[in-house]
Chains A and B, each alone.
Chain A
């Protein structure tokens, strides 16, 4: 998927996420980019997608920081083990729970 299309999708998902109070809808996209494309692209997308999510709700930089952390975790996992679709979903759910917990706590 083209990077600009992914970013536009992040924008729409962020607005949709705010309506349902789930701004981390962008997180699966970070996972998708990390899974299908390069880690560099995943980091950049995590940063920009995170900023998009932060603009709808929360403090700028918070989601960007967490999505970058998530992309980093995915990359470390991919280097050591095989990152299949099932592992990716489990990792994303795990990261999502942490993200939601921190976001609702601070």
Chain B
């Protein structure tokens, strides 16, 4: 009897697995998600609050150095802002002259984060909201990832840090590839030895491959990892976004 129940449930599980893979169970998921998604959101928000409380406990150690660093960065940003404003005005004038639509005007769909780790983000928006695999997920003009799979109410976003993730990137005029490193970090690779890249350079999407939108910020080079004898230059890239500070992300439609 026990064996029969076991085999029956096993067959049922395999059946459900195959049916869900073929999206035949979407109506069931839609109903179930109505109950699950709010609860998952509550738990995720709770997690963020708890993490914030603990962050205060460790802040005193690194706080002073971070404040000094941020003050320097703030001054640099103010200088960059002035430069950017004049460039934006010049750009707008040129665009007007050439009749090109303003850059960065995407249709964005907001979605609450209900789960995340270093390789994936789960968001409370799915096929019912028009989300489909392959869409780009951003916060501001920073790339967060690409929709990997979607159910009627939720979607899984693959982050650039995920193993197997490969995003064509550029550093100014230099072309390269951002590859996920063991679900924990990003590696800039496929950059020719002769190309000038350095710590502090910003890495952006080139608009090719999985991310068809160019000029989205991916991160900043924090360490050059390759040696001069290597065929390609490699560098460690870190995203400026701390996911635990975010509650919402935006899907580019």
A binds B: yes
Q: Is the interface of A mostly helix, strand, loop or mixed?
A: helix
Q: How many residues of B contact A (CB 8 A)?
A: 39
The minimal Cβ–Cβ distance linking A19 to chain B, given in whole angstroms, is 4
The minimal Cβ–Cβ distance linking B251 to chain A, given in whole angstroms, is 18
List B contacts of A62 (CB < 8 A).
17
Q: Which residues 17-52 of A have a CB within 8 angstroms of B? A: 18-21, 39-40, 43-44, 46-47, 50-51
Q: How large is the interface on A (under 10, 10 to 19, 20 to 34, 35 or more residues)?
A: 20 to 34
Q: Which residues 23-57 of B have a CB within 8 angstroms of A? A: 25, 28-29, 32-33, 36, 39-40, 42-44, 46-47
Residue A65 is within 8 A (CB to CB) of chain B in the complex? yes
Q: Within the assembled complex, what's the spacing in Å between the Cα atoms of A14 and B33? A: 13
Known interface pairs A21-B115, A65-B13; A15-B39 also in contact (CB < 8 Å): yes
Kindly report which residue of chain A lies nearest to residue B16, judged by CB atoms.
Answer: A61
Q: What would 18 more interface pairs be, CB under 8 Å, given A39-B2, A61-B16, A61-B20?
A: A16-B43, A18-B122, A19-B47, A21-B115, A21-B120, A44-B5, A51-B16, A55-B32, A57-B122, A60-B17, A60-B20, A60-B28, A61-B12, A61-B15, A61-B17, A61-B19, A64-B16, A104-B183
Binding site for A on B (CB under 8 A): 1-2, 5-6, 9-10, 12-21, 25, 28-29, 32-33, 36, 39-40, 42-44, 46-47, 114-117, 119-120, 122, 154, 156, 183
